[in-house]
Amino acid sequence: MKKGNVQLGRRDFAKKIGGFALISPLVLSSIVACSSDDDSGNLSEDELEAIQFMDGQILLNLDVLESLNSTGGWLLINQRRVLVLNTGNGEFSALTSICTHTGCDNAWSFSGAVLTCGCHGSRFDTSGNVLNGPANAPLASFEVALENNTLTVFR
């Protein structure tokens, strides 16, 4: 065990702690964003209940899941590692949320019909095809069916 005294003036202390204060929110936000295994981040209790898992299928009640009711709406289901996208004209796409670059699975954004993995910036179209690397393989896709305002993802 080492002992010692640190002689640090107020100005030097402020400089050192100021750098930490600027960096720590960035580090903490990336840890929180990359470690969540919970789908409840942005969903209400009713929306959580509108997602059911049954025999290798995911059933989504679109009467409740309003985020999927318009073109460009999307949902990340961390529990099953699935991205569900409303691609327009009553069409939906379901893709694995496991990026083919390094396996990140919960740092996604979706805008302008492009999925972006927040880990290293790989970009994919709504069919899972790579638009920009570093990923070089497409995302796996899953069959979907819409009936009576229930979207079923077959996994």
Domain boundaries, the chain: 39-154
pTM of the predicted protein model:
0.70
Antiparallel, parallel or unpaired: β 57-61 and 141-147: unpaired
pLDDT of 127 reads 93
Positive or negative: CA dihedral 122, 137, 91, 146: negative
The more confidently predicted of residues 99 and 17 is: 99
The more confidently predicted of residues 30 and 124 is: 124
Return the SS3 of 61.
Answer: strand
pLDDT of 132 reads 82
User: Which residues, listed in sequence order, are joined to residue 76 by a DSSP beta bridge?
Assistant: 83
**What is the 8-class DSSP label of residue 138?**
P
Return the SS3 of 39.
Answer: helix
Specify the CATH architecture of the domain 39-154.
3-layer Sandwich (2.102)
Return the SS3 of 42.
Answer: coil
Average pLDDT value for residue range 138-143: 94
The more confidently predicted of residues 146 and 24 is: 146
